[in-house]
Amino acid sequence: MKSLSLLFIAIFICSCAENIERTITLNVNNSVQIPVEYVKVTVTVTERGEHPAAVELAGYESLSGVVNLLRESGFGEDDVEINAGAVSASRVRETPYQFQSTLFFDMYDLDKIDTIRRAVIGEGGTAFLVSSYGNRDEESIYDEAYRSAIESARERANRLLSGEPLQAGNVLNLRENIRENVFVTSSAQMDETIELNLSANLSFVEPMFNKEYYTKAVQFSVEFELINH
């Protein structure tokens, strides 16, 4: 994991004549890089036409083709979440009826993303989107970064207090403001890595996907008790 970049924004020291309790508060803005272990994929199947029955039939044929392709490639029933789809009408299009369905699944074999993408489009998929990234150890990586950020905030507070007979003690309060820059979508969660089976009908495509890390923000305000040296 690459090193974290830290930005300490605000400092607040409180001391009251009637109360000997003294504190220092720092706002911390952290960014942790997490290795991409798997991606969440969203596939859309769309068919348009002038007759609703024909549009629905064509849509389900394309959907069936995509689902069968994924099954043959190694995805089990529980690995793919399928929105069965529906036909809708619009007066503003030349082809007034539209069938649309969406599939969600996770891919761990990142070198085969573009191979699956091309095959899915060939079977009737109209959109193939890598909607987010994941790592099964994300929580522990995040927690480690969080603890590291608190200790870095403590070191920063002590540097600011250099020359004073005080130092940062126990954490009295934490206020969180956590935001992720990863779009999250519902998807079937796979407990084990799937080994994709590239059949003779699924020719390998040289991968262009090269993302190694995704970032998660660690933002909080930490209040330390001030104690004498």
How many domains does the chain divide into? 2
Alpha helices in 44-112 (DSSP H): 52-72
Q: Whole-model pTM? A: 0.74
Tell whether 141 and 184 lie within a shared domain: yes
Cite the beta strand spans of 66-185 per DSSP E.
80-89, 97-107, 127-134, 166-176
Reported as a single tens digit per residue, the pLDDT across 44-71 is 999 999 999 999 999 999 999 999 999 9
Residue 179 has pLDDT above 90, yes or no: no
Q: Are residues 30 and 141 in the same domain?
A: yes
The CATH number linked to 154 is 3.30.110
- The pLDDT score that the predictor gives to residue 182 is 36
DSSP 16: -
Could you report the per-residue pLDDT of 92-143, keeping only the tens digit for each? Answer: 778 899 999 999 999 999 999 999 999 999 999 999 999 999 999 999 999 9
Which residue, 109, 133, 157, sits at the end of a domain?
133
Q: Which amino acid, residue 95?
A: T
Q: Do 188 and 111 share a structural domain?
A: no
Residue 128 contacts residue 208 (beta carbons within 8 Å): no
Q: 106 lies in which domain range?
A: 38-133
Task: Compute how many other C-beta atoms are within 10 angstroms of the C-beta atom of residue 101.
Answer: 22
32 with 42, same domain: the answer is no
- Are 180 and 193 part of one and the same domain? yes
The CATH number linked to 83 is: 3.30.70.2970
5 pLDDT higher than 70: no
pLDDT band at 208 (very low <50, low <70, confident <90, very high): confident
